[in-house]
A and B are shown apart, each in its own frame.
Chain A
Amino acid sequence: MEPSTRASGPATAPMLKAWRRFATHRPGLAGGAFVLLLALAGVAAPLLAPADPSQIGNQIMLPPSLQHLMGTDELGRDVLSGVIYGIRVSLTVGFLAALAASLLGAIIGALAGFYGGFFDLLVMRISEVFQVVPSFILAAVIVALSGAGLMQIVAVIALLAWPQTARVMRGEVLRIKRLEFVDAVRCLGIGEGAILAGEIVPNALAPMLAVGTLIVGQAILLEAALSFFGLGSADVVSWGRMLNSGQRFLFNGWWLSFFPGTAIFLTVLAFNLLGDAIGAVFNPRSAA
């Protein structure tokens, strides 16, 4: 039995099995389909949106009608167009923040789990601090002080979220490094670093994908909350900012906050469904 075929050969079979299980997981499919649809709508925003979302008009505070499906705001801007363009900010922030957090967490967690010792202790303590600290408040203080830009927000969210992925990666590495096949690879004379990067980490990616997907949802919620508090980037249309201005018109313009909020809710829900499904598909025992 060749160790290298053991590590990579049958690995495709579990992938196929996992995909088949996913294909029967209805909530996960629904979430995935919605995310896909959103991404397409975000890319095609200029084609889909009936108007420029920042186009000011004299038809102000119109309730939803056939002409303006989600109504217009206090400056006569079309709410539907704002909601469609808002997809771009939410998905960009969500994906970039989750990607950055996953990369950072994967590297730190893998090293901590594999080498252990003082570094591991330090990483675990730091990640505990981040678990305890109220992340929205810390993010808001940092953004308030350092200035509100889209990239600042992404960086802050990633900074606050990496311990989650680091913990998952560390746990997986701790589990996998004790498996027999690792010793088999080691007997072939492959170096420790190559074992970690080439054999252990690839086998730990499935749970990382699940956590990463859940972080996309968290990041979208966090960005919306920051924008709602007036800390979002001023030069883009975002759902959180629409809710912020809708707050002033709750009494005479429910549609100003209803539609952007529904968009946030459905998007985060879709990512949560997808993340839970990915977790369940790769680890059927946890689904019970």
Chain B
Amino acid sequence: MGRYLLSRLAWAGPIILAILVINFLIIHLAPGDPIEALVGDFPAPPDYIASVRHQFGLDQPLATQLWLYLVNLAHGNLGFSFANRQPVLGLLLDRARFTLLLMLPALTLAAILGVVLALTAAPRAGSAYDGAITAVSLFGYSVPIFWLGQVLIVLFAIDLRWLPAQGMISLREQPTGMAAVLDVLWHLILPAFSVTIYYVAVVARVARASVLDVLHQDFILTAKSKGLPRRQVLWRHVLPNALIPVITVIGYNFGYSLTGAILVETVFAWPGLGNLFITSISNRDYPVLQGIFLLTALTVVLANLITDLLYGAVDPRVRAGYGAHA
């Protein structure tokens, strides 16, 4: 396990470095003075601008600038957002909580739904039910989820008045205690469902292929010929063996769900990173935009790393190096 861990860490290191370098290069993409990318297009005091210019060594050669940039990041200095009057790092961590609150239930729901759909559809491969599952995953792959959010709002919040249209809490009643938790859950349903649909598509597709694969293996035939009931074969023999690629796809797609949450938040006025992202776009608050990219990219690398380690812990073949890792 130690060697496997080391090899995965050796994978993550250069990728993290590459992400940092990309973020550094983005600063220089802006037409004109890179100082604008570091401060934003918001009126900032001139002595602050001068200090940033010095801190990031903008009059020095590019290599020195990169070094200073990395040093600043290592100190947690992602810049200051003048539009929000707050250091970028604190602002991001503050908002990331709400994005996680939206993502984690959506992810869990999608994983469960996807696996159950696949497990029920794959043994009936070719049937109408199986076709319907394929249709669901095609829908999930093709629908713009921010638009799906809009349709859900129009249908369930405006027309039927079953669920709240926007926000995370009821502003009028301001409930406390348990009622407040329920209130948040109440607001969570529509945005979480919008994020879920793409994920269900991804998970169902991979899980279906994986279940089909396991179904055709000899030990399943053995289990069947022993006279085990269908249900037991599926849940006890097929599921555990089919689950490994599914875990991988869930972990590896963490980034997509993060992006999904960011796209959906805007539609539902959910107060997380997505909302911060769109207001920062209109404020031209570049340090915040770059900070969001950095935070999400690093989160995805971390999620991939954790997935790999879980994978190694669950399946000894992977640790030994027989895994199908590209």
Contact = CB atoms under 8 A, between A and B. Distances in A.
Interface stretch (A93-101, A110-118, A127-135, A177-185): A127-135
Contact of B255 (A132, A224, A243): A132
A61 B73 CA distance: 49
A46 interface: no
A128 B15 contact: yes
B259 A134 contact: yes
Given A134-B296, A138-B22, A145-B30, A224 B144 contact: yes
A19 interface: no
* Chain B: number of interface residues, binned into ranges: 35 or more
Interface string B163-174: 001000000000
Interface stretch (B148-156, B176-184, B236-244): B148-156
A138 B142 contact: no
* Chain A: number of interface residues, binned into ranges: 35 or more
B287 to A, nearest CB: 11
Contacts of B225: none
Nearest to B303: A132
Nearest to A251: B158
Interface in B50-98: none
Interface in A110-157: 124-126, 128-129, 132-138, 140-142, 144-147
B147 A265 contact: yes
B206 to A, nearest CB: 14
A230 B158 CA distance: 25
A219 B152 CA distance: 24
Contacts of A246: 150
Given A146-B31, A225-B263, A261 B293 contact: no
Interface stretch (B103-111, B185-193, B274-282, B316-324): B274-282
A258 B151 contact: yes
A228 B19 contact: no
Given A137-B292, A229-B278, A265 B142 contact: yes
B266 interface: yes
Contacts of B146: 225, 228, 243
B296 to A, nearest CB: 5
Contacts of B22: 129, 133, 138
Contacts of B153: 250
A257 B147 contact: yes
A250 B138 contact: no
B289 A144 contact: yes
A49 interface: no
Given A243-B146, A272-B138, A132 B300 contact: yes
Interface of B: 14-15, 18-19, 22, 26, 29-31, 37, 125, 138-139, 141-144, 146-147, 150-151, 153-154, 158, 165, 212, 255-256, 258-259, 262-263, 266-267, 277-278, 281-282, 284, 286, 289-290, 292-293, 296-297, 300-301, 304, 326
28 contacts: A126-B18, A128-B15, A132-B19, A134-B258, A134-B293, A136-B259, A137-B292, A141-B26, A145-B26, A145-B29, A221-B142, A228-B263, A229-B266, A229-B277, A229-B278, A230-B282, A243-B147, A246-B150, A250-B158, A254-B158, A257-B154, A261-B150, A264-B144, A265-B143, A268-B144, A269-B139, A272-B142, A273-B138
Interface of A: 124-126, 128-129, 132-138, 140-142, 144-147, 217, 221, 224-225, 228-231, 243, 246-247, 250-251, 254, 257-258, 261, 264-265, 268-269, 272-273, 288
